[in-house]
Amino acid sequence: MVQRFRRRTRRRVVAIAAVGTMLAAWFGPAAPVQAADTNLIVNGGFEEGLGNWFVNNGNATDSATLSLTADAYAGSSAVLVTNRATTGSGPMQDLSGKVQAGQTYALTARIKYENPNSPATKQFYATMHYGGGTYTNLVSVVATRGQWAQFNGSFTIPSGQNVSTARLFFETPWTSNPSSDPNVHLMDFKLDDVTVVGAAPPPTPSKTIEVVGKLPGEHNPLIGHKFGADGFGFAHDGRVYLYLTNDTQGYAPNPTTGVSPQINYGNINQITLLSSADLVNWTDHGEIQVAGPNGVAPFTGNSWAPGMAKKVVNGQEKFFLYYANGGGSSNVITGASPLGPWTSERTSTLIDGRTPGAEAVAWKFDPAPMVDDDGEAYLYFGGGPASTSMPAAERFNNPKNLRAIKLGSDMVSTEGTAAVVDAPVAFEAAQVFKREGKYYLSYSSHFGGNDFGGNQTPLPGYPGGGQIGYMISDDPMSWPKETYAGVLFPNQSQFFGAGTGGNNHQSVFEYEGRYYFTYHAPTLNKRINGNTTQGYRSPHIQELTFNPDGTIQQVVGTYAGVDQVRDFDPYREFEAETFGWSKGVATAKVNGGSPEFGGTAPNLVVSDIDNGDWTALSSVDFGNGAHSVTAKVRPLVAGGKIELRLGEVTAPVVATIPVDAPLGEWTELSAQLDGVAGVHDVYFTYAGPAGADLFEIDTWRFEAGAEVPVTVTAQARCVAGKAYVAVQARNDHNAPVSIALETAYGQRSVANVAPGGNAYQQFNSRTASVAAGAATVRATGSVNGEDVTTVVTAQYPAVDCAN
């Protein structure tokens, strides 16, 4: 199978003929259109309202109003642009994923302005914004006041241009102070009949990760089917919710090499949400569209580094999701539950340059809330370069770039002035939790450099680059440098090796009396591409332990992760996108609410299921035995099937569900289990025609049944230089049973094993060694007058008889 795996400074490119620009023709006829060419603009005539169009928001100061007008060049509608705040606020359409480097495109459009106080003629540009401060003018026209003018030209995108972000907008020439003469720079204008014609968009790269990114038996990274960073853990009503920066949003692996371009944080405007009741099996709740034109808070452009809190406000329990709007500000949206639905109670950002006490903070981001026992709430934020007014050594050791501020009782406003957090060698990611009356603030340390005073010597005991330090205080608003307590977590590369370094972002949460530490590392990215990673990060959790004096024992990052806090309960309808481990699948949102979490929660399904893919659950407790398994599936091709295995992905099949329902229709299909009992890792393996998506799965449900009690042991041993697997099953029933023993090296059936008796077989591998594996035993007998079969597995270790 093919592997599929700021404050910002505006830099407008205006020297059209200079090296590095992409303009091929200012005026003149457009390039000839070939039969295979496609118009990449959607609703270019505004006949479908303002769909697909929005105001350019490249900078925080950009704003304008778009409305429809009947004064169209053609058809019934055009767009009217009014109330521009800058000469970068014009109407925009997102062409990301449509335009391609090295291709030539023909651009046409009609534009008109009518302000009698404006110049008789005015130049307009069609401009592409490639993210950050990169703006490139494409085609220009000089319009005459009161007359429709036509853009008509072509442009070639340089072969080396990064087009992961490509947003086209229309504007007058950029000037830094347009309000000095608004009649010249900020006149209202109309736009109609926009086309960009050229090569058809490339196929959307598959984001499906085909490798096993989370190895069976390991609990880190938490998931293997997508990425996520800056995890913020939040415990509520028996579950842990983990809110993540959606690193998957820009993941676009090359279909041939499986390697994606480097992560582009400027594209991320969604928050990924997972939850778990046991910290090993995680349910994927998909993405929250927080920012951007279609976001909950469309006045923000990005959503990074989330933080979550709950509080009863005016008698109603609410949930507050805070996030970084790029580097320049932070914001909050409100949910009716940890899963939403989400609304915005604000129309502007919560933390920005207007926040008292935050004026000197370079990066007003990474907001982390903390609600105290008395109901008072606080927000911790900030980061970035230290003030240049400070001495160089102080800029390095005590950059004073983090802040603490009280939140209003509504949780969507602030009170008073932000206080300085004097965290040693601080960079970003301040987060606070409370334990036994003490407040703990953890943060990420910087890597030095000119932003932090150049080549400086850290003070003794201060953290090194890219580590997580922490402080302990008696006051949530008081964090002098004397409260520094040490390094909580070294850089993740110390534990996960080459390709996993870089900055980190952490949180600490309490769950059922234990404390846990979240962090990220590009471990899944590494398993896809080897030691060279592209910055796509994955969530991890380790348990946090304390010394008698309240200080924290330094965390060690491991693939093993945390212990599963409880066995998984299968006797209910639960989401199929709940994974302990997986291979080759993806998830997708579908209409309607969640069968497990309610009608207001999003519903996802397991998708992109190919022959050989699988999903698994860790430590499923079947108790006295399961009678059947039911899947809600939507077949996509004929001939698919689901096989259930216990213990490992290659274990014998204990049940098969033929997916033989009508194609395209959601159907519940079941299979008998013959009394699978006890605690097992459960693997759902998928088979069907090669090269086709087989089906989608919405939910699983198991039904309990009777069991035949049996005790099973398995061992690997050496006899005369050969490796054997010995399996024994004891009949614990009060009547005779038939027992079948199965391994990868053979099987044996024994009839009528008496109560208390044993069935035994030593299977010869005919080799000098065997790998660790599992034996499967089926015990069949009569329970309450019915024939019942119980399936039990037993693990055996590897053995090498040659040594």
C-beta neighbour count of 354 within 10 angstroms: 10
Beta strand ranges found along 24-103 (DSSP E)? 38-39, 54-55, 65-69, 78-82, 91-94
3-state SS class at 228: coil
Candidates 443, 433, 403, 375; CA nearest to 550 is 433
**Helical residues (DSSP H) of 427-518, grouped into ranges:** 493-496
- Strand 91-94 and strand 679-687: pairing? unpaired
Whether 610 is a known active-site residue: answer no
CA 402, chain centre distance (Å)? 26
Residue with tokens 């609703």: 43
Question: What CA–CA distance (Å, rounded) separates 392 from 398?
Answer: 10
Token look-up 């089906």 returns 695
Pairing of strands 573-575, 91-94: unpaired
Is-contact 357 461, C-beta < 8 A? no
Measured CA to CA, the distance from residue 540 to residue 599 in angstroms comes to 30
Q: Residue 346 is encoded by which pair of tokens?
A: 């604000």
Q: Are 486 and 551 in contact (CB under 8 A)?
A: yes
Contact 188, 66 (CB under 8 A): no
Residue 696 Cα to chain centre, angstroms: 21
Contacts of 544 (CB under 8 A, 6+ apart): 508, 514, 515, 516, 517, 552, 553, 555
d(CA 299, CA 334): 15
Given the residues 193, 230, 577, 698, select the one marked as catalytic: 230
Catalytic one of 192, 247, 278, 428: 428
Element (H, E) at 598: strand 598-607
Which structure tokens are listed for 347? Answer: 């129309």
Most distant CA pair in the chain, distance = 104
Residue 540 CA: distances (Å) to CA of 282, 379, 496, 506, 544? 12, 24, 12, 10, 13
Minimal CA–CA distance to 517: which of 494, 540, 484? 540
Closest CA to 5 of 701, 524, 497: 524
Burial of 238 (0-12, 13-18, 19+ CB in 10 A): exposed
**What are residue 715's DSSP bridge partners?**
726
Radius of gyration of the chain (CA): 30
Round to whole Å and give the CA distance between 516 and 242: 12
What is the number of alpha carbons within 13 Å of residue 140 lying toward its C-beta? 17
Residue that has been written with the tokens 């850089």 in this structure = 491
Q: Sheet containing 342-343: which strands, arranged edge to edge?
A: 304-313, 316-325, 329-335, 342-343
Q: How far apart are CA 129 and CA 223, in angstroms?
A: 34
Interatomic CA distance for residues 426 and 121, integer angstroms:
53
The span from the CA of 639 to the CA of 651, in Å, is 22
Between CA 53 and CA 298 the distance in angstroms is 13
Please spell the DSSP secondary structure of 447-465, one letter per residue. Answer: --SGGGTSS-PPPTT---T
The beta strands (E) that lie in 282-361 are given as 282-289, 304-313, 316-325, 329-335, 342-343
The residues near 26 (Cβ < 8 Å, ≥ 6 apart) are 16, 139, 140, 153
Residue 230 designated active-site: yes
Q: Which SS3 state, helix, strand or coil, does residue 341 take?
A: coil
- Residues assigned a catalytic role: 230, 428
